[in-house]
Amino acid sequence: MNAMVPMTPAAAMSDALFALTLALLLLAPLAIAGVALINAGLGRSRSAAQALLGNLALGAIAVIVFALVGASFAGTPGTSEAALHVAGKIWGVLGLGPFLMHGLGSAAPQAQLALLFEFMAVAMAAMIPWGSGADRWRLSAGCAAAAVLAGIVFPLAAHWIWGGGWLAQLGANFGLGAGFLDSGGAATVHALGGLAALALVWIAGPRRGKFPREGLSTAMPGHNAVYVLFGCLLALVGWLAWNTAGAVIWLHAPLAALPGAAINTSLSAAAALLATFAVTRFRFGKPDASLCANGWLAGLVTSTACAALATPAEAIFAGAVAGFFTPLLVEVLELAISIDDPSGAIAVHGASGLWGLVAAGFFAPQAGQLTAQLVGIAALLGIVLPLVYLLFALLNRLVEFRVDPDGERIGMDLHELGGGAYPEFVIHRDESYR
């Protein structure tokens, strides 16, 4: 199997390819469902209903805000944009399309598919930080943060990368490969979501009792490993659809290239799982279920950047690296720098997304592609992270992120919803409050 040559000129899409891509996009929400289930399972039982309702609510807010304003700022290649003219080059910064998706019905089929893809992407990006704020992030604050991400941050990144903005034009303007490549949303969805998760946990702080005055941090394991592991299987189906649809929409891949993208997605996840399995077996004596789930997801996230560009051997390598480092990074984040991230989103989505983008730079055939990918990563770290932090810090003054101590003690389900996810079960008292 040969590596696919990306960014071939967009030809008119055949009806068959349109129908196939649409069908794939209708399966892509299974990735969102899988991540939602994983987030719920990795949280505590007394916050499980709030966690899943939050995933639904954040996704709902994100798609509505994106439809109202975000899609306009994201734009599509060839439409009007706000641009800077520096050194004789045009630097597209922000799309200036019509609001409320005006003219959607008369848009080209490929543009309609791109918009549908962005709807899935914005929902996923908004949900990723939710898992990191489990057991302490208020639902109303989560919805407000989702609106900010969907209305400002995601459209900005989406325009730069998918909407013909300055990152997409790095190839044409500076001869850097085919410009910044991100066919599955490793940057716009996963790295953005992971960096937003980091900003969130910095602002909201750790769960009460997580980091005691003395000794190691308190272990607060997820309440349902079955949800977590089934979520991984569900996510695989969604990711296969997501990556293959992304290859068609953003790289203009031919039909013959799609099986390779799907195979690489599976290989990356499989290699990552086995690597995490081996690392946790070596470190703890037994494989750790939740970390293995994190490893599997890290492999899938890595594949979003490079599944359509890599050979199978390269996909295995990229997945194995993600799977090897993810459990170690989860451990470092918690034990060395006191970051309380129940879902592991910072390592799984943030770090693995960034690694996938670097790997895509290594695997792509064009000269200068690695530089283009690194410039994109620099934009994510240097602009997107500080911007998200600033917006979240301002939002925290308007809608307080963190629940009050009493709410945290009794659980988010009772405090925010008035009832638990498992009303017939006895919920055990938290040992850390003794």
Partner 1 sequence: MKYAGLLVMPAGFLLTLAALLLFPDPTRRLAFVMCGLAVEAMGLAVAVRGHMPARGASRP
Strand, coil or helix: 5: coil
Q: Taking Cα atoms as reference points, which of 265, 269, 264 lies closest to residue 294? A: 269
Minimum CB separation of residue 401 from partner 1 in Å reads 14
> Between 23 and 378, whose beta carbon lies closer to partner 1?
378
> Between 214 and 424, whose beta carbon lies closer to partner 1?
214
End-to-end, the C-alpha distance of the chain in Å comes to 59
Contact status, residue 290 vs residue 278, Cβ threshold 8 Å: no
> Between 171 and 319, whose beta carbon lies closer to partner 1?
171
Phi and psi at 85, nearest 5°, equal -115, 105
* Residues engaged in binding partner 1 (CB under 8 A): 86-87, 170, 174, 202, 205-214, 337-340, 367-368, 370-371, 374-375, 377-379, 381-383, 385-386, 389-390, 405, 409, 433
Number of residues assigned to the chain: 434
Q: Look up residue 6 and give its two tokens.
A: 């990306």
Name the DSSP letter for residue 2: P
> Between 377 and 421, whose beta carbon lies closer to partner 1?
377
Residues 6+ positions from 64 with CB-CB distance below 8 Å: none
Q: Look up residue 316 and give its two tokens.
A: 């295995």
Pairing of strands 89-95, 81-86: antiparallel
Minimum CB separation of residue 125 from partner 1 in Å reads 20
In Å, how far from its chain's centre is CA 320? 19
Alpha carbon of 296 to those of 31, 226, 263, 276: distances in Å?
13, 15, 15, 8
Minimum CB separation of residue 394 from partner 1 in Å reads 13
> Between 311 and 371, whose beta carbon lies closer to partner 1?
371
Minimum CB separation of residue 392 from partner 1 in Å reads 12
> Between 109 and 209, whose beta carbon lies closer to partner 1?
209
Minimum CB separation of residue 179 from partner 1 in Å reads 12
Minimum CB separation of residue 167 from partner 1 in Å reads 11
> Between 282 and 433, whose beta carbon lies closer to partner 1?
433
> Between 211 and 422, whose beta carbon lies closer to partner 1?
211
Minimum CB separation of residue 190 from partner 1 in Å reads 17
Minimum CB separation of residue 398 from partner 1 in Å reads 19
Contact status, residue 389 vs residue 202, Cβ threshold 8 Å: yes
Minimum CB separation of residue 19 from partner 1 in Å reads 40
Q: Taking Cα atoms as reference points, which of 231, 189, 218 lies closest to residue 342? A: 218
221 phi-psi bin (left φ>0, alpha ψ -120 to 50, beta other): beta
Name the DSSP letter for residue 414: I
Residue found under tokens 């492999």: 299
> Between 37 and 339, whose beta carbon lies closer to partner 1?
339
Strand, coil or helix: 95: strand
